[in-house]
Every structure is written in structure tokens, then in C-alpha cells.
Amino acid sequence: MHRMIDSLFMAELGNEILRQKKDSAILKFGSKKLAFTTDSYVVNPIFFPGGDIGNLSVYGTVNDLSVCGARPLHLSLGIIIEEGLDRKILERIVRSIKNAAKSARVKIVTGDTKVVERGLCDRIFINTSGIGELYYDKLSIDKIEPGDSIIISGSIGEHAISVLSKREALEFGTKVRSDLAPLNGLIQKVLKGPKCGVRFMRDPTRGGLATTLNEIVSGRRFGIALDEKDVPVTSGVRQACEMLGFDPLYLACEGRVALVVSKRDAARVLDIIRKTALGRTAKIIGRVTEDHRGRVSLNTVAGGRRIVDMLSGEQLPRIC
Amino acid sequence: MIAKVAGEIREAVDTSRTYNFMEVCGTHTMNIFRFGLREILPPNIRLISGPGCPVCVTPNEFIDKAVALARRKDTIVATFGDMFRVPGSRSSLDKEKANGASIKMVYSSIDALDLAKRNPDKDVIFLGIGFETTAPTVAQSILMAKKEGVKNYSVLCGHKTMPEALKVLTEDPRLNIDGFLLPGHVSAIIGIKPYRFLAARGKRCVIAGFEPLDIMQAILMLIEQKRPDIGIQYTRIISRCGNTLAKNSIKKVFNESPSVWRGIGKIKNSGLLIRREFKEFDADLKFKPKIMRPAENSACICGDVIKGVRTPLECKLFRRACKPEHPVGACMVSSEGTCSAYYKYG
């Protein structure tokens, strides 16, 4: 996917904003800066423990704005419906969108609906684009230094496992619920003041925490070392992973944020996160290093060390 | 605990010699890498990855037949996820899926049987890959299909069995194996009797579990073995006679047969064929998939890697033409492949 984006989209459409490849584009309007993002949602199944395609389409875009230091304000909503979709299902999804927008304090201000023939889309696909007002302008990978701490706001992999548990022909009994949630409240508490110590943040969605951290170190003069014993993974996710042969580091989350924070401020930032409802299980899981430049390594529970590479290929399709 | 066992290993080793231990289970290979165990072992203990990955030892001919079956009309091919991207002679299942073939990932043959029941107007063909751990469940799926009269379910059988392959490894003059970490779950099925010949050939053996502590304890047991024997570290699930129910399932549905192992060649009594009384569930007999002569990439050294004769680092294609996103050989694709482990975990 990364190669396709570079070789096709960047090659044809690239400009100084797009090439930054941020979760949200930062645009100047006079003295103000706005963040602008878009995402499409094709999750299968459309209802899963802890969420559905409706609230996912709101929270996913809200989170992409939030991790760039923006306060999410307005969303557009584009819906493509397969002919014959049960009206009750559509109503349930729209109500979920309404509740999610209320919970995330954003407004749906424009939209579009299309219906396509049966078989040409899998029940419903949704696109949301969002704009937010930038209130914290200092997030940049360029600011990351060796010694900085890596924090994750909660346990990983629950969204991916909850979706997989309901996928056709793969149903298995599990109590894992998606971690799907809007992160704007948590992030606004952390990014208070210009000296909050946060260098950079991203939500580990598709490809999981491992992919997100690899994207951060790629081509850089620093590495990241994680401590496996500190990475929070619930027993439900661990069991599902053991059964299915997955590595939780590569499983998508939809309500977690990974932060790079200065060493001096890490304990304070962790404390702020843990006081929020979504961040009770937050942990410091590693640090930025001078060695292993451009790589992510893991100090394993066995006392050894290994590389955590970028995910190759699709571990789980249609997870968001 | 692991650090304690690592200390005991350091105390127990004879520093004047090298120990060559081969693990023959893909999950052992993966977990040795995943937990960085080579780093905490003394440098004179050499762990060699053997042919323990069922996907990796599957020859191109099987993939080519799976591709031919996927191209049939009104057919769903059900497969373990690993098989999707394994390159055959000219195509792979994920390329066929991109071209419109119906190929579904399943986690067990029973899921594939359920798929057949839910799609009575399609032929559902399950790709039966795996060793003695997987074969009993596939046998059960065939028995259930017969009992329930499911006519549209069949299996393309590529199952292999371990003991004869181990015999071949002990006879290869390029390898100098002192002992084996034997596969935990295969052993849970077959028991210890099929391995006795290894001890008779002077090889130390320990059946190991899969947690890092299991593997470390098994290595300690290998070093401490006073004479070649079949030790059991995985005592919590291994019984000496194996799992009779599972063994009987295999015997009921399958016959032993010669089988081609990628990179090794034909090994007698190392494969399973579906018995004649279940022939309606044998996809090879039922559909007779037509394939061209199988072709292998001459630069690919998966065969030597599978046997432990060479490592992926010695392959010209490794990390260049052969990466997980565009693999040349099966060892790079499978979640238990040696090349995949070397690539992923460095």
C-alpha cells in the first residue's frame, strides 16, 4: 500500500502539503491554521462488539484530526449503499453516527448518499472528511530525540480482534470489545500549553503499533526500543492471538494513541492520561534510541532482543 | 525463570565443542526468533531451522493444482491464510483472488465444511496442508461431511508426516546434527515411538513446548542428556503413546504415501492420501485439475534453507528480489517460514 501511494498518488498528485503524509493536512487561512483529513470505512462486518461502521466513521476521522493537535469541528458524510440494504440496518448506523458525533462534539455539516446495484458494494461503505482548528502547532517527528519516552494510552489490538471475532466463517467466542473511542478529549488534556513535552503522536490503526512506530523511525537518525513486558495486552487479545497466530503489535486499534514525549515530561504526561476515562491503562513502553537507527527493536520477556519490522502484506483485510 | 535456565545452560555446556541442534517445527523457529533466544544462549550452541513449516515444504505442483481449482466456475477454495501468497509455478492464490476467483481464508477444515453447507450451489475445496497436528481435524471434516451427506465439500490433500523426513535429515552428510528439538504438537498426536530411530542413530532428542521457557528447558535437557534418548520437556500435554483418537482418525481417512517435499524431493511414507472409500471428498480425483509442468525459480534456495543446510542470509534473493510483499519462495511467505523469521525478526 505504501509503495502504491508513493508510486502513483504521490507521483501524480504530490505537492508540498500532501508529501508531508500527515494524518491531517495543515492548512493556513490567514492567521489561523486548520487541519483537514479524509478516511473511508469498509469494515467487515459492519457491526462488531463495541462498535459499528457508523461510529467508526466518526471516531476514526476525529482521531486523525486530534493526533495532529487540532480540535475537531465538522465532518462531511458520504455514504454508498448497496441496493436492498435493510432500512433498519441503515437507521441503526445513522443513529450510531448521530450519537458518535454528539459524544465527540463534532457536527455533520454536509453529506452525500449513493445507491449502487446489488453486489457492487458490500452493504455499506462510508467516507468522512473532517476539519478542525489547530490549537497545538508543535508536533513534529523532527523534534524527536534519543532518550524520549514512548507512551501508549491503553491496551492494544482489541479493535482488530473484536472485528475478526465476528467475521464470517471465523467466529470464535471472545469477550473482546473494540477499543473504538474519540481521543480528542484525552489529547486536549495532554496538549495543554506549549511546553507539554509531547514531540509527536499518532493513533495506531491499520497495521497496529508496530507499523505506526516504524513509520516514525523510517529514514531517521534514531531508533525505538520497546520493552515487551510493558506493552499492555489484555488476556482476551493474547489468547485470540495465540489461537490465530497473530502478533498484537500489528493489530489495529481505533481508540488508542501512541505518543513520543520528552523524558523529563513522560511521567507527568502519563499521569494526565491515566486520569482520563480512556487512558486508565496507559503505560510507558519504550524509548527513542541512538542505536538501531531507522528500526524498532523489542526487548523480549525472555531477555533477548529482536527487530519489530513493518508489517508486510495484509494481516487482516477490511479492519477499518 | 528464563534467565535462570540460561545460566544453567551456560554452566552445563562443554565450551570446547559446538552443539548443532535442529528444531523441526515452524512455531519453534518463529518463537526462537520472536523471543530473541539465540542472544541469550552461549555462542557454541547453534540452532538450525529444519523443515517444520508445512507451507514451506509444499511443492509448486500443489499450489499449481490449487490455482487450477480456484479458476473453476462455481468454486470456493478455502485455505489457511499462509497459503494465499505462496508463489506457484506461474501464479498464486492471491493473484487469482485479485482476478476474481473465490478464495476464502479459514482457520480450520471444519470452517470450510460449514462454508460448503452455507453455499450448496458451489464446490468448496479445502487445501489440506499440515503435519500430524492438522490431519486429524481434516479427517474429522471428511467424516462429518460423509455422515451429513455434504456433497459439495472436498479436500486437496497435501498433508505430510514427520518421521521419515527426519530420517532423511540424519542421512544428509552436509548436516552435522547433534540433536533435535522435536515438535510439541505433532508429538502430542504421534507419541514418542516414531522417533526411537533417532536415538538409535545417536541423536539426542527432546520434545519441546513453545513458550520461550519451554524451548530453553528443552535445550538444557539436550545438553544434559547422558546418552541419546527421546526426552519430554512438554510433559503437560505429551503422553508417550500420543493421542489414540487422533491417530485413529488419520488411519480411518488416510493412507500413508510417498510425498514430494520442496527442496528435499520424494520421501517414502511421508505423506497422506485420502482412502478410496472417501474418494468423493478427494478434490484431486474429483476434479482432476490440469496443470503444466511445475517450474521452480533456479535462484531460490528454499530447499537448502528448509533442510538447514544454508541460511536465508546466504540466498542471493533474500531481502532483494524476495521479500514478504513479493516472495519468490514459500519460506518467505509462511508465518512459520525460516526466511520470513529471518526477515521479520532480523
Domain identity same for A145 and A129? no
Q: Is beta strand A32-41 parallel, antiparallel or unpaired with respect to A25-29? A: antiparallel
Grouped pLDDT means (10 residues each) for chain A, 320 residues: 80 86 86 94 93 97 96 98 95 98 97 93 95 94 97 97 78 83 97 89 94 95 97 94 86 97 97 97 98 94 89 62
Domain identity same for A292 and A272? yes
Domain identity same for A60 and A149? no
Per-residue pLDDT, B57: 87
Q: For residue A229, give the chain B residue with the closest CA.
A: B35
In total, the C-beta contacts within 8 angstroms joining chain A to chain B are 66
Model ipTM value: 0.71
Contact call for B325 and A312, based on CB within 8 A: yes
Domain identity same for A113 and A157? no
Domain identity same for A130 and A151? no
Contact call for A300 and B323, based on CB within 8 A: no
Q: For residue B336, give the chain A residue with the closest CA.
A: A245
In a domain, A320, yes or no: no
Q: Which of B106, B114, B324 sits opposite A313 (nearest CB)?
A: B324
Q: What's the CATH code of the domain at A258? A: 3.90.650.10
Contact call for B106 and A170, based on CB within 8 A: yes
Per-residue pLDDT, A169: 52
B2 touching chain A per CB within 8 A: yes
B97 touching chain A per CB within 8 A: no
Domain identity same for A151 and A127? no
- Phi, psi angle pair for A94, to nearest 5°: -65, -40
At which residue does the C-alpha cell 458518535 appear?
Answer: A100
In a domain, A262, yes or no: yes
Per-residue pLDDT, A312: 66
Q: Which of A170, A172, A313 sits opposite B85 (nearest CB)?
A: A313
In a domain, A318, yes or no: no
In a domain, A302, yes or no: yes
d(CA B113, CA B155): 10
Min Cα separation B332/chain A (Å): 11
Domain identity same for A302 and A153? yes
In a domain, A317, yes or no: no
Give the three cell numbers for residue A225. Answer: 526500543
Number of domains in chain A: 2
Per-residue pLDDT, B242: 93
> At which of A86, A104, A134 does a domain end?
A134
Q: Which of B40, B323, B345 sits opposite A303 (nearest CB)?
A: B40
Q: What's the CATH code of the domain at A22? A: 3.30.1330.10
Q: Which of A170, A302, A306 sits opposite B345 (nearest CB)?
A: A306
> At which of A81, A112, A134 does a domain end?
A134
A119 touching chain B per CB within 8 A: no
Instruction: Give residue A124's domain range.
Output: 2-134
Contact call for A309 and B344, based on CB within 8 A: yes
B33 touching chain A per CB within 8 A: yes
For residue B34, the SS3 value is helix
Domains (range + CATH), chain B: 60-161+243-287 (3.40.50.11740)
Per-residue pLDDT, A313: 60
> At which of A114, A134, A154 does a domain end?
A134
A67 and A151 Cβ atoms separated by less than 8 Å: no
Give every residue of chain B whose pLDDT is below 70, as ranges: 335, 346
In a domain, A211, yes or no: yes
Domain identity same for A129 and A153? no
Of B253, B80, B238, B51, the closest CA to residue B161 belongs to B51
Q: Which of B3, B111, B335 sits opposite A169 (nearest CB)?
A: B111
For residue A76, the SS3 value is strand
In a domain, A208, yes or no: yes
Per-residue pLDDT, A163: 92
Min Cα separation B341/chain A (Å): 10
A307 touching chain B per CB within 8 A: yes
**Amino acid (one-letter) located at A65:** L
Other C-beta atoms lying within 10 Å of the C-beta of residue A60: 26
- The tens digit of pLDDT for each residue in B86-125 reads 888 889 998 999 899 999 988 889 999 999 999 999 999 9
Contact call for B34 and A300, based on CB within 8 A: yes
In a domain, A313, yes or no: no
